[in-house]
Amino acid sequence: IRPQLELSAIYVRRVDLDGPGEAAWKISPEGLGINVEPTIAISPSGDAAYCVWVHRVHDPDQPGLIESNRGRRLLYSIYSKGTNSWSAPESVLANLDDYDSLYPGVLEPSIALRDEMNGLLAFTAVAAGSPETDTGLGLGRLVYICRLVDGVFLEPVLIHGKCRLVYGYRPEVDLTIPSEVLEDPCAASLRGIEGFVAFESRGLEQGCGDIMIATLPEGAEEPSDASSDFLPADPEDCESNVSVGFGGCELGIGYWSAPGGLGGGRGKGGAHGFQTRRIRLEPDLSVEGCTLSYPFAAPGSVVTAKVEVKNRGLARAPVDGNGASTAGLLFIYADEGGGEREAARRGLPVLLPGEVQVVEVQLEMPHEPVRLRVQIDPNPVDRDRTNDSRQCFFGAPCPRDLTCRVAQRRGPAARVGVELSWTNPALYEELYLYRDGAMFVALPGSFTSFTDFGASPGLHTYSVRARIDSSRSVRATCEIDVPPPSPPSPQFRRADVDGNGGLEITDAIRLLCFLFLGCHAPPCPDAADADDNGELEITDAIRILGFLFLGAPPPRAPFPACGVDLTDDGLVCQTQPRCRP
């Protein structure tokens, strides 16, 4: 059923404690036209009121609102208590004849007044250049705010958020913060804040999303980044139709909640319907970043540290009774041994919600590289203390998890080595390896292992050190006791059971005789293990015969040439006469 929107009009009517008053005023333009979604705000004194709504001139050949986003604009009318009358409707953006070029499909206005001439308007629109049929109702509406200054609406500003662009719906504005009557601590924490903007961000499912909240500092062109951190919810939930109101030291939020998505809330058994929450108005100072002008300088060099601090909360940073900031930054050097020492302290300015400040401090590169930790301290009031600190490398970090183990090299010339392995926490330019305090090799910075075959038997201490630019890390060390080398491994030819230097049927017969007739054991049991499974079985004779007469695979190495057994099993033998070096 399609309502006759071209016949719609906007009426206002006074209501007091006794109920509706005199007859209603019609404030929308004369003639046919679409007039929908009125929003009204009354000044704190009650001497003025503004009503804003969406208007489109009627054209019988033009599609409806659902089929087209063209031709709409925002109109407003002002009520004066002194004359008890409403003004003729005017366009909110008086200098913009064509809303479609910048704000097609305007909808959902919400207005709040600071006084008779100043306030804030919020509304949504689809992106400029969108197709005419794109209403943005499923996904894609943008939230704008528009300041009312001395009775004039200024140019709209797009609300940005964590992902730079936040799709939003049904914005609500609240500017009723009577600072002059607030009691501490609210009077101090909310000074300089004009109000709050809340809206529903759209998820993947139509009508679903999180409730986003932004703070509007006095005089700022745009509010703080909108965030849903203040009202966390299940990602599958639908939250919509938000309302917002200030009271005391809290922000009251009301919204529709459907756990599990539209149509699925009741099935999941969650609370389904209108929800209310109270959000404490507190600052949230966060260390957003820390950069060093030369992080890998030589010891004694002076380096500039730049620290970015942002207020992610809903109130300004804590202050004392004189309005001065009580928050600061503490710079700490943390060495590889777990020791810490204070490097510097700096005060922080008073940050309003969404405000960012960069603090610079000069630091001297210590003799040994450290980790530089920057934390907000003191910080008497903070909503979320998990983002109060950040650390970075100040000098080349030490290689991690160094291990040493004995490495045996099998073969005629058996050797014992030490295998070193470690992890690189940074991109090194060069690595230095030390044995008993003396450097014995330099490696490219990408290496994470090395085997040293030059160590003599006995206890040794190994160290690994890294270099980045002019900075050299402290040494990671490990100790290991190197055993003497094992005797050379015997050489033999696999499957040469009788040791005559060739592979013949007699080798299979000799093995079968040993297995089933009680003949003497082969002189080299390891050679008789033709399949190299560590056992002398009939399968070894089958392997020999299969290779000789059926084209089966050859015996396992060493074959056909002499060599050592690379498999660690229980079979041993002396070197075969025909395989002696």
Q: pLDDT per residue over 331-349, tens digit each?
A: 999 998 889 999 999 999 9
> Quick check: bond before 378 cis, omega within 30?
yes
- With 90 as the cut, is the pLDDT of residue 574 above it? no
**pLDDT given at position 409:** 67
360-391 pLDDT, tens digit per residue, is: 999 999 999 999 999 999 999 999 999 999 99
Does pLDDT of 205 surpass 50?
Answer: no
Average pLDDT, rounded, for the chain: 88
For the residues 408-419, what does the mean pLDDT come to? Answer: 73
SS3 of 110-153: the string is EEEECCCCCEEEEEEECCCCCCCCCCCCCCCCEEEEEEEECCEE
Q: Which range, of 64-68, 269-273, 367-371, averages the lowest pLDDT? A: 269-273
Nearest CA to 433 among 397, 476, 469, 392? Answer: 476
Per-residue pLDDT of 92-137, as tens digits, reads: 999 888 899 999 999 999 999 999 999 999 999 999 999 999 988 7
What per-residue confidence (pLDDT) applies to 259? 73
Q: For 143-199, how does the pLDDT look when each residue is reduced to its tens digit (9 = 90+)?
A: 999 999 999 999 999 987 655 566 787 888 887 655 444 555 567 788 888 888 999
Highest mean pLDDT out of 210-224, 250-264, 271-285, 293-307: 293-307
The Cα–Cα gap between 151 and 437 comes to 79
Structure tokens at 528: 């008789």
pLDDT exceeds cutoff 90 at 502: no
pLDDT (average), residues 461-473:
96
Distance CA(525)–CA(535), nearest Å, equals 9
pLDDT value, residue 166: 66
Distances (CA, A) of 310 to 236, 254, 361, 397: 30, 27, 17, 28
| pLDDT for the residue numbered 176 | 64
pLDDT in tens, 432-444: 999 999 999 999 9
Judged against a pLDDT cut of 70, whether residue 581 lies above it is answered with no
What pLDDT, on the 0 to 100 scale, is given for residue 206?
46
The H or E element spanning position 535 is none
